[in-house]
Amino acid sequence: MAPRVDDVMRLCCEISAHNDIKVAVKNSAKGAMLAGGSAFVGGMLGGPPGIAVGGVVGSLLGSWLTSGQFRPLPQILMELPPAQQQKLYRDVMAILSGLDWTDAAQLVAMVMGSATLQQQVTAALLNYITKELRAEVRYRD
């Protein structure tokens, strides 16, 4: 079973590299810590008005620092934990259920040779990325 998961992960990496898809996984915890820390420091230095100013400045800084950190999708896919890889595998296999392949190279060739399959797998991949990882997607620059 594991080789099939690896084949599908390689297919997803090939498709996302072919389409030059980049994603930014939102780091809300990092931004929240920055906002809270800034509010705390503002409160220590300026009392109640300092809390407000520190919170606003920290929120803006956190938003700026955590947005726009786009990375290539193949890199993110290879870093997925096994449970998330299994979920993506099941989503893609719903499309590929009628195909029979022997290795990843053959699977990639079969899917890349069919515009319909390529579009369906891309749609499943993007749906997974936006719904499960809550990532922002960007195509070619």
Residue 125 CA: distances (Å) to CA of 41, 61, 118: 42, 31, 10
Mean pLDDT to the nearest integer, 102-110: 93
CA distance 9 to 114: 18
CB 87 within 8 A of CB 26: no
- Delimit the domains of the chain by residue range: 1-21+73-133
Half-sphere exposure of 83 (CA within 13 A, CB side): 2
- DSSP-assigned beta bridge partners for residue 135: 25
Choice among 70-79, 98-107, 118-127 with the minimum mean pLDDT: 70-79
CA distance 48 to 63: 23
pLDDT digits (tens, 9 = 90+) for 125-139: 999 988 888 887 877
- Between 59 and 84, whose confidence is greater? 84
pLDDT at residue number 1: 41
Average pLDDT, the chain: 83
pTM for this prediction:
0.67
Residue 88 CB-density burial (10 A; 0-12 exposed, 13-18 middle, 19+ buried): buried
